[in-house]
Structure 1
Amino acid sequence: MEWTSILAIYFLFFVFSAFVLLPFGVRTHDEAGIEKIPGQADSAPVEFRGGRLLLRAALLAALVTAVYVANYINGWITVEDLILWGPDAG
């Protein structure tokens, strides 16, 4: 596998990880006991920690990419293993 392919796969996993991790660790003003600004959404976070989110997404993406590349090299799960129905399913 080319290093550029690995980089592209990492980027895809990074973006997906960032969206998956986005709602975790968020506290609203009601949960923190802080008064809201008039017109503010009820779900708005008290403080957005973008750096922490990106770091967690980068680590998760690196882990998932490493597992993906290891599976690609070793062939643990192949396309044939993912076919759950059809003539070769038995």
Structure 2
Amino acid sequence: MIRHLVLFKLNEGVSHDDPRVSAGVAAFTALGGRVPEVESWEFARNLSDRSNAYDYAINAAVADRDALRRYADHPDHQAGVALWREFATWVIADYEF
């Protein structure tokens, strides 16, 4: 199994109530149920208010590297990424467990 972790940081001047953020949140909230390769899916807003905290996180699992590639290439994933690219940056970690 591969754990796929993503931490999103809203760009300077972008707030959680920005309509673009709302659209991005909706896209990634639904994504886990739309991509067959995803075996577990969590997407949520971070509760921490520390200065070095990121704003949102994905914690997902897929079976293997091929499944991770299919997830990354899935049209719904690509559409969500395009939305988030407009207002946030992110870091990713993928590891076997």
| TM-score in terms of structure 1 length | 0.28
Larger % of strand: which? 2
| TM-score in terms of structure 2 length | 0.27
Which has more radius of gyration? 1
